Amino acid sequence: MITTLSKMKLSDFIELLCGNSNVLKDSENDKDEDIKKMANELIYTYQGIVNPSGLETILLDKEERLKIQYKLSMCKVLKILTGISAWDEVGEVLKSLGYNDNSKQDIVKRIDRMKAEAEYLKHRLDDNKKETKRKTPDDIRASFDKEIAFLMTYFKMNIDINVVTAGVYANMLRQADIEIKRKIARK
């Protein structure tokens, strides 16, 4: 299985982005589960080279989703504990989170508020994700065509997607971005 961008032709990487993870297979023994995991790793690696701040945004979004899921799970556990009258334990957990609710009624209200807040945040993140339009394979290919045409013009060289590796291409793209930003900053 292909495990690095330096061993992957740009044409295969474009196919990978279009959803064809079979381009990573070296042999029939490669498991689909491992291939999907490696596909995600390669895409993240590529994004990290081309747009490090964009990758940071993606990671922060995933972190936020994990925090919300953690909070929802914690609320579920706290609800179960109140159901078996483990009020002292629930109170200690809430106190460790900075809440000082003492009565049973206040504790139940606090858990309900925490759950409602987490569900609201999850709903908001899901809505934001729905708004970002999913690119079709044709959109992805067209985007790379424009990008490659720009880089060929900028560097005054031919880029053959069947020869250039995805790693080299990502670094060329990053270098062009750095140079353009430097030129803009000088003006």
Per-residue pLDDT reduced to its tens digit, 78-87: 999 999 999 9
Task: Considering only residues 80 and 187, tell me which one the structure prediction assigns the higher pLDDT.
Answer: 80
**Distance in angstroms between the alpha carbons of the first and the last residue of the chain:** 47
**How does pLDDT run across 139-155, given as a tens digit for each residue?**
999 999 999 999 999 99
Question: Tokens representing 155?
Answer: 């560097």
Q: Give bridge partners of residue 9 from the DSSP assignment.
A: 165
Instruction: Give the mean model confidence (pLDDT) for residues 60-70.
Output: 92
Residue 4: count other Cβ atoms within 10 Å of its Cβ. Answer: 13
**DSSP state, residue 185:** H
List, as one string, the DSSP characters of 39-76: HHHHHHHHHHHH-HHHHHHHHHHHHHHHHHHHHHHHHH
* Closest to 86 in 3D by CA, of 107, 72, 70: 107
Confidence tier at 101 by pLDDT (50, 70, 90): confident
pLDDT of residue 26: 85
Query: In 10 A of CB 80, how many CB atoms?
Result: 11
Per-residue b or e along 138-166, where b marks 16 or more CB atoms closer than 10 Å to that residue's CB: eebeeebeeebeebeeeeeeebebeebbb
Q: Whole-model pTM?
A: 0.69
Reduced to 3 states, what is the DSSP secondary structure of residue 1? coil
